Amino acid sequence: MGILETILLALGAAWGSGINLYGTALILGGLDHFGLISLPVALEVLSDPTVLGLALTLYLIEFVADKVPGLDSLWDIVHTFIRIPAGALLAAGAIQGLDDGSLGGALGIGSAFFGGALVASLSHFLKAGTRAFANMSPEPFSNWGLSMLEDIALVIGLVLMVMLPVVFLVIIAMTLASAIFLLPRMWKGLIWLLKPSGEKNKLAAPEDKMKPVSLFPTGPDASL
């Protein structure tokens, strides 16, 4: 694989892992299995029929869990410790596929590992934060809609990685920039929503410690 294809694969694998690890493994493994792409040796295991079957099973489990309000956020919390390391490992494995070995040394693989972890972290926490806000709503339709959009975005993104790499790079750049911009605001918003209502009321309308002064005092203390 050339440098551009390798970097695209590393980015796509890390980005997809942060959204849905099992769907990413299923898509990449399926594309390689049917000869549509050629994965590097370190990632060829994804196209093994046994691994594809396991990925499909786990994807179907997540497909259901991801659409149940509350359970989706719990699933995201647990998968914080799965998606991010997996994204790092997939990115590092992709770098090993360079034909000329220009980035396939220890430094290149290490950089891909930490870069993949960063990309997977941003996509994962953007997804998890969006879901946490959606769970504040009592109706389940927003969760279903977000889950379906994430699945569709994952498929379209990885297909674009193969068919239209420039468009894919633009989408990745926009997604990561949005995550960097939105995540701190999401965190502050969640902290606000989780505060007791009494404390929120105090912050929203702080008590005025200054008594109002009337320009025209009335009553027995009024001076003429």
| pLDDT tens sequence for the chain (224 residues) | 678 888 999 999 999 999 999 999 999 999 999 999 999 999 999 999 999 999 999 999 999 999 988 899 999 999 999 999 999 999 999 998 665 555 657 888 899 999 999 999 999 999 998 888 888 877 777 888 899 999 999 999 999 999 999 999 998 999 889 889 988 887 787 676 666 655 555 555 555 444 554 545 565 555 54
For residue 214, is it within any domain? no
Q: How many domains does the chain contain in total?
A: 1
Name the token pair of 102: 């220009």
For residue 176, is it within any domain? yes
What's the Cα-to-Cα distance from 129 to each of 80, 148, 154, rounded to whole Å? 12, 16, 17
For residue 211, is it within any domain? no
Closest CA to 45 of 93, 10, 115, 101: 93
For residue 42, is it within any domain? yes
For residue 209, is it within any domain? no
For residue 217, is it within any domain? no
The parent domain of residue 184 ranges over 3-204
- Name the phi and psi angles at 68, rounded to 5: -105, 115
For residue 91, is it within any domain? yes
For residue 215, is it within any domain? no
